[in-house]
Each structure stands twice: as C-alpha cells, then as structure tokens.
Structure 1
Amino acid sequence: MAHQFKCLAENDSRYRQAFQLFLDRSSEHQCMQDFIHGILPDILASIGEGKSTLNVMGVGSGAGEMDLEMLSQLCLKHPGVKVDNEVVEPSIDMLYNYKMLVSKTPNLEHINFTWNKMTSSEFEKHWREKNITKKMDFIHMIQMLYYVADPDATVSFFRSLLNKNGKLLIILVSGESGWGKLWRTYRAQLCFSDMSQCVTTQDLKSFLDAKGIKYKNYVLPSQMDITECFTEGDERGELLLDFLTEVLDFSKMAPPALKAGVLDLLRQPDCSTEVDGKVMFNNNLEVIVLDS
C-alpha cells in the first residue's frame, strides 16, 4: 500500500505545521541546546588551530536557530577569528527566516554568510562540477539525512570536504529511540521514497563500523507528548501522526490494519511511557562526530 502514500515533506505547508507542533510537544530543541552549550565547545576546541578564518558549513540548516547557537560557541572558543559560513537549505521560506534571524542577531559582523538554496545532492553536484577545492573546518548536518537518496554516500561526500583537523557533526534519531522501533517494524510500509529515508544512528554506525571509520557519539535524551494521536479525529493528533510516519494524511490514507498497528506500537514500552495520563514518546537523539 505504500505506493499510495505521499511523503509529508512534499507538502511544505503541512510539513511546517507538523514540525512546529512537534517542536511544541517535544524537548528536541532543548536537548540540542544543552549539547551545544555543554559538550560542543570541547569538540570545537581542536579545529582550525592557528587560523585567522574558519570555514563552516550547515547542511539542511532550516531557519538557522541551531546554526547561530553553534556559531556563537565557535566564536567563544576561537575569539577574534573570522568565520566563512556556507548555508545549504532547499526551502526558500526557511532561508528567508534564517536571514531575518541573522539581521536581528548582534555581533555577527565577523561572520560571512553564503546562501545556497539547494538540496544536499544539488550542492554536491554543484561542488563537483565547479571543482571547488575549499576545505571545511566544521560541518554540521542536523536531522537531514532522512531526506537524501543515499545517506551513506552523503556522509562520505561531506566528510571528504573536511580540513585536516575538521569535524563533521551529524544529529539523527537514536536507533534505540521510539523512532528506531517504529521504523524497524514498518520500514517497508513507511520508507518508500528518497524523501523519507527511515535512517537512525544505528544505520549510520553500521556503515561507519563496516568502513572502519572511527567516531564519537553522544546520546541526547528527549521526549515528545503524543497523547493526542490516540484521540480519533483530533487535528493535532493527526498532524503528529503525519510527522511520526512521514506520510501525508496518514490517518486518512493508511489501511485500517496499518493504522491500528502503528498506534498500538506507539503505546508499547519500546516506544513510549505513560506519565500522568500522557503518552510520552522516546524521541532520543544521538550525535555522531567524525574527523577528516
């Protein structure tokens, strides 16, 4: 039945609605900020030693909130250094929001922003065709490997752009999270196009281990309130189900058996816990850090 589904990401308006509701119902941004302020500075300490300019790239940067948080930590760790920041983001609305955020944020005079309205694959093609030799000191890819045709090849390409002491930072849902359980169970039904790769850190680590590539990883505990998913016809619950499955109008389009199976799985201890009458989904993230 998967061929009848449309990917949520293909409907930009509903995707942004669902994503905003996800942020409202989850601790995702908070756990990322805790990582950025608590652990990231030590990771950034070793990059760009002795350089007057650091080359940074954000792939799938969205509206830029996390980018600017990381750039702030980078500048604190390397005071006085100029930053050349490449932004890769396919959504014109997200790029506009990012630019607006930059215009309202003080003390960015020493950061040069280059805007690339492209998908990561379009950017890779552009980079190769132009035969660009520029190397990066820090590349980050936050929650974007779900939307590429070949996650392993994408990671390999961007890792190849790193300077000698460069770092590639990747954030994905943990293979041990509720997402991991959901996708392992229903991968065939839900992961049906290049726009909805059900990839977790378990998949990425398997690839890296097979290649003998060393990495460091950090688990970021996070939860999401999905209580509304279990009220038939609840508009917010249906939006959250769309986000969880990456399927547009999942509640309406899914065969009854698939919908019942997904809802049953979401309540199981491997996916969620019940706290004070609320169903709290395990939204744990994991950070993978690679050297050049």
Structure 2
Amino acid sequence: MASSMRSLLSDHSRYVESFRLFLENSTEHQCMLEFIDRKLPGIISSIGKGKSAINILSVGGGSGEIDLQILSKVQAKYPGVAINNEVIEPSNEQILSYKERVAKTSKLENIKFTWHKETSSEYESRIKEKKEFKKWEFIHMIQMLYYVKDIPATIQYFHSLLEAKAKLLIILVSGTSGWAQLWKKYGPRLPLNDLCLYVSSADIKEQLDIIGLKYQIYELPSTMDITSCFIAGNKEGELLLDFLTETCYFSKTAPLDLKNEIMEELKKPECSEERGGKVFFNNSLSAIVIEP
C-alpha cells in the first residue's frame, strides 16, 4: 500500500496549487515581511558603507516577492547607490513571475537585475569553472536549503563569497515549529524525494557551530489554518495535507494507520493550537544572520 505514495514534488501542478493554498492559509509571508521591516535595516546597516555599488545575491529567489521587499530596505538605507541584484533560481516559471513583478514595480531605476536559471550547486560549479571570484555585500537564501544535497558545504561556499562587512541571511522553518516535529517523527515513513530534505533551523545551528561561524538567530512566529484538513473530502484540506506531508494525494494513497497517526499528531500541542473551533499549525520560521 505504501508504495503508491509519491512525493508531492513529482506532480508540479499539484505542488504549485498546494503551495498557493499554503500561502493563502498561513502567515508565512507576513512574518517574513515583518522581519524585513523591523530587523533588516539594522542587519544591513554597514554592508554598503563607502561602496559605490552594492552586490546582492538571491539564492533561490522564487517569484521575487520577498526579494523586492529586501531591495527596498537596501535602497532606503543607501539612497542613490547602484545595486547589482543577481538571482539564482532553477524554475523558469518563477523567473518569469519575478520578471513580471519587476516590470510592474516602480523606483527600481538604480537596480540591475540578472537571473541565472540554475540550482545553487550548478551556480557554484559554473563560477568555480570560470574562476570568477566576485564578492557580495549581501547574500540571502530564503526557504531553499531543503533542496540542496550538502547543506554545510553550500553554506560554507556562499559564506566564502562575502565581503568584509557583508551578511548572509538564511530563512527556514524553526526547530520549534510543527514542521520539525512532524518530520522528525514521520519523515522516514513519507516518500522523501531526492530533491527535498527535512531540515530545520535546529539542524543549521548545529552545523554552524561545527563549522565555527558567527551567527544570530531571530524567531519569526507564524501559523497556518489547517482546519479544512479535518473535514472529510474537503479539496482544500486534501491539498494542505499534501503540502504538510510532501505527499501527492496523501489522504487517498497513505496507509490508513499512517494517515490516522498523522491526523492525530497534527492536533497535538507540539504541532498545532486549537482556537475558536479552528486548528492552527505552528508554521514558525527562523532567520539566521551569518557574519563574514
């Protein structure tokens, strides 16, 4: 029975649909934007000192929604300074969305955008091959470390590209989130795709301590309304369950015992909170700022 379960990433359109629902039902983007508003100006306060241009590298920039918010803070901190914003993004669709977003956004005159349709490891190989040693004032990797083969090596490589006063920002799910709880307990029984690792900020913190890098962690509280997951046959609930388990058609293909266990788990206080007849999953993120 378990063999009919397959990774959500194997069905691109269903993944996109479930991800869209996840964003609609969660405060994922709001909590990131709040962090960018409140904390980022202080974090980037010295990256552009004395620079005539600021180089920013977005690793896994997606459709650019968060990137443009980051850029607006850099512009506000360093008015009139030229910004070179390069984006590494393997999805053609996402790059097109990003370009459309840029086209519709005003006040980007001093920013030069360059997109590289490749993964972070393809970028690394290409740069090493060309023996290019460009340094960056700010590098950010938002919700993308789940998709790299060797996390410590990836962090070390991009860290090595930082200028003296630069910063490397990583955002991913918190070690205290419902995700970390779910993955720890059920990861081995779910159809883990080669493309996706169950990793939280607790794992990254451990790696950074081993490597010996200096960092600071900010917790970004966030929730996701998963009430519809408990309504039998609810289409939105089924899509959200797919997203939570990274499994395509989870409620139809998962063995009954696994399905029952996960539905129980999702209601536990380690994963979610019940408020006003609704179930809110702990979707908290961590922002990790690494020094050069």
Is this a same-fold pair by TM over 0.5? yes
- Shift of residue 12, structure 1, vs aligned partner: 2.0
Partner of 1:269, secondary structure, is coil
Partner of 1:170, secondary structure, is strand
**Alignment map for 1:68-79 (pairs within 5 Å):** 68-79=68-79
CA distance in 2, matches of 1:54, 1:3: 50
CA distance in 1, matches of 2:191, 2:171: 19
**Alignment map for 1:80-91 (pairs within 5 Å):** 80-91=80-91
* Alignment match, 2:127: 127
* Alignment match, 1:108: 108
* Alignment match, 2:266: 266
CA distance in 2, matches of 1:24, 1:240: 11
Partner of 1:50, secondary structure, is coil
1:127-182 deviation per Cα after TM superposition (whole angstroms, max 9, x unaligned): 22222110111011111111111222221111111111111100011000101110
* Alignment match, 2:214: 214
CA distance in 1, matches of 2:108, 2:31: 25
Partner of 2:247, secondary structure, is coil
CA distance in 2, matches of 1:15, 1:94: 13
* Alignment match, 2:147: 147
Comparing 124-133 and 18-27, the one that deviates more: 124-133
CA distance in 2, matches of 1:213, 1:171: 16
**Alignment map for 1:131-280 (pairs within 5 Å):** 131-190=131-190, 192-280=192-280
Partner of 2:30, secondary structure, is helix
CA distance in 1, matches of 2:64, 2:272: 30
* Alignment match, 1:98: 98
* Counterpart amino acid of residue 162 in structure 1: L
Comparing 92-101 and 155-164, the one that deviates more: 155-164
Please, which runs of 5 or more residues in structure 1 have no aligned partner?
Answer: none
Residues 254 and 155 (structure 1 numbering): CA distance in 2 closer, same or farther, change over 3 Å? same
Residues 59 and 2 (structure 1 numbering): CA distance in 2 closer, same or farther, change over 3 Å? farther
CA distance in 1, matches of 2:68, 2:37: 12
- Shift of residue 4, structure 1, vs aligned partner: 4.9
- Shift of residue 238, structure 1, vs aligned partner: 1.0
Comparing 49-58 and 229-238, the one that deviates more: 229-238
RMSD: 1.4
CA distance in 2, matches of 1:191, 1:256: 15
* Alignment match, 2:52: 52
TM-score, with length taken from structure 1: 0.96
- Shift of residue 2, structure 1, vs aligned partner: 6.8
1:240-277 deviation per Cα after TM superposition (whole angstroms, max 9, x unaligned): 01111111222222111111111111100011011111
Partner of 2:124, secondary structure, is helix
The answer to whether the 8 A contact 1:169-1:290 is kept is yes
* Counterpart amino acid of residue 60 in structure 1: G
Partner of 2:248, secondary structure, is coil
- Shift of residue 11, structure 1, vs aligned partner: 2.2
Matched residue count = 292
CA distance in 2, matches of 1:19, 1:83: 31
1:196-218 deviation per Cα after TM superposition (whole angstroms, max 9, x unaligned): 20000000001111222221010
The answer to whether the 8 A contact 1:178-1:271 is kept is yes
- Shift of residue 3, structure 1, vs aligned partner: 6.2
* Counterpart amino acid of residue 24 in structure 1: E
Partner of 2:122, secondary structure, is helix
* Counterpart amino acid of residue 70 in structure 1: I
1:20-79 deviation per Cα after TM superposition (whole angstroms, max 9, x unaligned): 101110111111111101100000111132001011011111110100000000010111
